[in-house]
Structures are given as C-alpha cells and as structure tokens.
C-alpha cells in the first residue's frame, strides 16, 4: 500500500508538468486544449514540486509529509477548477491524497502526544548516582544475577537512569487472530518508574497505532485504527499491576544495570533460578528469573500479570534467545510473550531488538545521532 501510494503521488505530480510545458511552449501537449498563461504555468510547476516533496517525505517516513501533501492538493485543485474541461478527473486523485494527508496529520498528532510525554519524562532527575557500576554495587545480589551483569558487560559502564528501545515483530490477540507486523519505540525511566511505548502496526492492510503509558503505577493502553478510531482502551487496577510487571521485565531483560535497584527484593535462589519482587507506589509484583550456565537470562515468568481476559491472571513468560552485542552490551536478540493457560500456551507476540540507547539526555540529541524513530508516515 505504501509503495502504491508513493507511485500515485509521483505520477500525479508529474502530470502537472504538462501545464508548465504547454505554458512555456516547450512541447505540444494535445491533452490540454485550453490556453495556459506563463504565470499559470509556474503554478503548474509548483504543484509538481509540492507533490514531489510530499512523496519523498512520505517515502522516508518524515512526519510532516502531510503538510506538503495538503499544500499540493490545494494548489492542484485550484488549477483543476481553472482548467476544468481538461483536468477535472485529477480531482479524484486529489481526494485520495487529501484523505491520506488528513490521516497523516492525525497520526502525527497522536505520535506527538507520546513524544511530548517523553520530553517531560526526560526532565526527571537521575535516580542512580552518576558513576560506573562496580563489583561493590552488586555484591549483595544473588549469584546468578551477578553472573548475568558480568556476562552482559554491565560492570564498568555507567549506571542506567533511562533507556530507549526499538523493536520489530508481530502480535496477535489469540490463535484465531491474524498476526500483525509491528515496529515499536519506547522509553523507560527509573526515577519515577515510567514506561512510554508507541507501536505502529498493520491490521487488514490498515495502519494501527498503539500507545501504552505507565507512570508511577498508573497505566493505560490506547489502540487506534488510523490513529483516530479507538479499537481498544484499557486502564484501571488490572492494567496498573500488569504494566508494573512489564516495567520490571524491561529492567531484567533490557537494562541489567538497573537490577541494583533497592526496590527489588531477591527472596529465593534455586540453582540458576532466582525470584525477584519489585515494589513501586504500593504495588508489588514478583517473577522468577531463569539463567543458563553462560550467564544469559533465558526466561522471566510472573503470575501477577492479567491476560486479555478481564479479571484473569495466568503465568506470563518472556523466553529470550539469540544474545547479541548491541550498544556495548550483550543482550537478548529475540524474545516471545506467552500466556500459559490451563490447557495451552499462547504466544501472542514476538520481539526482535533492533536498537537500544542508555541515559538519553533529550530527544533532539538522540535525533542528531539518528536514533529517534521518525513519526509514523502510514495513512
């Protein structure tokens, strides 16, 4: 769909060059029977330029592509009305591009809400003192957790106060649902525990955007078709507890240096299996962490997360594999999200880690480094 739309905009823009060519007598354009003055010829050229810019920005997923799309459509439609006899059928294409531009505007606005929340969260003061993680910092941790921190290369690196993650993968509701391909971007902050997760997916060839927001124990999930129509919204006590589990999971799987956090209590060690509990804002969640002999965290299992069935809790696990070197750490490359129902295991999500950045200062700095994902350009 994206490629087809890009081609449509480019071809529509190129057609506008015919008006410029005719106005300046560069070639005989028989399809245009009406006389075109040179000033109008310049406007035809401008319409082409606006469409070309919009198409290129759309191709590169630049969030403001819709602005040039709207300018191009308005310019084009003024020309079509002025030369209605020859150009009237161009109105059909302009309507298509107009609808896409409006959806692009709505999508950009929805993404901007997430981005503004990130900017606010980036103002949090550092939770951990500004220093490198040392053996002294981890001396009280269970043996398998110590080995994990050493294996991941966390020792000797700065303590982590926030981190930004990008994933690709696929998700579904249940076995009867089709898998939806997605990309996601999220920020986690340790001072006031915050997790801001923005997902872009495609469902039945239509774009879907989802925003999960977790701040200090309060959470909501807002899934929208075309970034406009709500298809799922959830908040409340169950969501607060579930997202606290997810926040703890992110700490364990993606930010090993944060496991020195005093809000985590380690209560049991059984070989390479360790139980940890995380408490924040009077909410406590627990999970078993499973490690292998190499020091890799290979699974995280909690019974505190609610499933898609309201009021029902089932074991939730995130088996991890394919450890890789990324941003100076050895971290999981791929993981699954699984609910263990009494009669079956449901894998409802697969995640591939594509980017991670620690101790982000501000969005502009990240953007200069090419790390910040562009606003979604789907329509």
d(C-alpha 5, C-alpha 96), whole Å: 9
Q: Is residue 120 part of a domain?
A: no
Q: Is residue 377 part of a domain?
A: no
Is residue 58 located within the same domain as residue 159?
Answer: no
Q: CA separation (Å) from 364 to 61, 120, 133, 360, 372?
A: 18, 13, 27, 10, 9
Is residue 97 located within the same domain as residue 146?
Answer: no
d(C-alpha 316, C-alpha 300), whole Å: 8
Is residue 164 located within the same domain as residue 17?
Answer: no
Contacts of 70 (CB under 8 A, 6+ apart): 98, 101, 105
pLDDT, block means (10 residues), the chain with 379 residues: 91 96 91 92 97 95 90 97 95 96 87 94 93 96 98 97 97 92 97 97 86 96 87 93 98 98 96 97 97 98 91 95 97 98 95 97 53 38
User: What's the gap between Cα 342 and its chain centre?
Assistant: 32
Is residue 213 located within the same domain as residue 308?
Answer: yes
Is residue 141 located within the same domain as residue 33?
Answer: no
Contacts of 118 (CB under 8 A, 6+ apart): 187, 196, 363
d(C-alpha 214, C-alpha 280), whole Å: 12
Cα radius of gyration (the chain): 26
Is residue 231 located within the same domain as residue 310?
Answer: yes
Q: What CATH number is associated with residue 243?
A: 2.50.20
Is residue 87 located within the same domain as residue 142?
Answer: no
Q: Is residue 368 part of a domain?
A: no
Phi/psi at 161 (5° precision): -105, -20
Is residue 48 located within the same domain as residue 171?
Answer: no
pLDDT score of 29 = 87
d(C-alpha 185, C-alpha 342), whole Å: 33
Domain finish residue from 42, 70, 104 = 104
Q: Which two tokens stand for residue 81?
A: 């009305």
Q: Is residue 331 part of a domain?
A: yes
Q: Is residue 115 part of a domain?
A: no
d(C-alpha 293, C-alpha 271), whole Å: 10
Q: Is residue 288 part of a domain?
A: yes
Give the CB-side neighbour count of residue 134, counting CA atoms within 13 A. Answer: 6
Q: Which domain holds residue 32?
A: 2-104
User: Do residues 226 and 106 lie in contact, with contact meaning Cβ atoms separated by under 8 Å?
Assistant: yes
Q: What is the pTM of this model?
A: 0.82
Is residue 217 located within the same domain as residue 345?
Answer: yes
Angle between helices 38-59 and 2-23 (to 10 degrees): 160
Number of domains in the chain: 2
Q: Is residue 311 part of a domain?
A: yes
d(C-alpha 147, C-alpha 141), whole Å: 10
pLDDT score of 206 = 83
Is residue 52 located within the same domain as residue 150?
Answer: no
Q: Is residue 96 part of a domain?
A: yes
* Closest C-alpha to 152, from 313, 326, 288: 326
Is residue 181 located within the same domain as residue 321?
Answer: yes
């Amino acid at each position: 769909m994206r490629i087809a739309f890009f081609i449509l905009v480019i071809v529509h823009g190129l057609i506008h060059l015919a008006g410029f060519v005719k106005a300046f007598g560069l070639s005989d354009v028989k399809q245009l029977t009406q006389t075109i003055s040179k000033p109008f010829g310049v406007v035809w050229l401008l319409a082409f330029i606006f469409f070309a810019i919009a198409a290129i920005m759309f191709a590169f997923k630049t969030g403001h592509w819709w602005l040039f799309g709207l300018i191009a459509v308005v310019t084009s439609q003024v020309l079509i009305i002025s030369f209605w006899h020859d150009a009237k059928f161009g109105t059909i294409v302009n309507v298509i591009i107009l609808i896409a531009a409006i959806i692009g505007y709505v999508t950009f606005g929805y993404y901007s809400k997430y981005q503004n929340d990130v900017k606010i969260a980036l103002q949090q003061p550092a939770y951990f003192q500004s220093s490198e993680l040392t053996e002294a910092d981890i001396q009280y941790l269970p043996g398998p957790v110590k080995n994990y921190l050493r294996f991941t290369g966390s020792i000797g690196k700065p303590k982590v106060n926030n981190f930004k993650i990008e994933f690709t993968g696929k998700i579904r509701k249940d076995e009867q649902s089709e898998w939806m391909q997605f990309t996601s971007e999220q920020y986690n902050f340790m001072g006031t525990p915050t997790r801001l997760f923005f997902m872009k997916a495609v469902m039945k060839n239509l774009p879907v955007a989802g925003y999960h927001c977790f701040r200090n124990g309060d959470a909501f999930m807002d899934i929208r078709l075309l970034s406009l129509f709500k298809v799922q919204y959830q908040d409340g006590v169950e969501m607060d507890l579930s997202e606290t589990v997810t926040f703890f999971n992110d700490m364990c799987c993606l930010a090993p240096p944060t496991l020195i956090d005093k809000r985590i209590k380690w209560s049991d060690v059984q070989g390479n299996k360790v139980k940890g509990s995380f408490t924040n804002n009077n909410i406590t969640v627990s999970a078993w962490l499973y490690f292998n002999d190499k020091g890799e965290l290979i699974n995280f299992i909690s019974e505190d997360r609610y499933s898609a069935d309201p009021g029902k809790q089932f074991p939730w696990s995130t088996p991890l594999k394919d450890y890789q070197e990324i941003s100076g750490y050895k971290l999981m490359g791929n993981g699954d999200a699984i609910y263990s129902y009494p009669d079956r295991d449901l894998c409802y999500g697969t995640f591939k880690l594509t980017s991670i950045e620690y101790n982000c200062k501000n969005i502009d700095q990240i953007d200069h480094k090419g790390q910040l994902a562009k606003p979604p350009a789907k329509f």
